[in-house]
Amino acid sequence: MLAVEYGSSVAQLLHGHGYGPGHSVSARAVSEGVWRKCPACDYVGAPASIAHHTKKAHAAAIGEQTQGAGR
């Protein structure tokens, strides 16, 4: 995903997750770089949360990448 696209889609992304205007703190956290967006899906959270989420939800994808690099 392009960086430009990422910046403009965060608001929609959070809205899609059920975060309304009252939760703009979340969008602000993302825009300021405190939170990150998962590169593989729409999950948003702190870097630690992203790392945990990635291991848990995208373990297969990571394994594929590792295999591809060794080939």
Catalog residues that contact Zn ion under the rule CB under 5 A.
38, 40-41, 43, 57
* Minimum separation from the CB atom of position 51 to Zn ion (A): 11
Give backbone dihedrals phi and psi of 20, rounded to 5 degrees, phi first: -90, -175
Helices H, strands E: what count in the chain?
4, 2
Determine the Cα–Cα distance for residues 68 and 71; give it in Å rounded to an integer: 5
- 8/42 with CB nearer Zn ion: 42
* Minimum separation from the CB atom of position 3 to Zn ion (A): 18
- 25/57 with CB nearer Zn ion: 57
Name the DSSP letter for residue 63. Answer: H
* Minimum separation from the CB atom of position 59 to Zn ion (A): 11
Which residue's Cβ lies closest to Zn ion? 38
Determine the Cα–Cα distance for residues 26 and 23; give it in Å rounded to an integer: 6
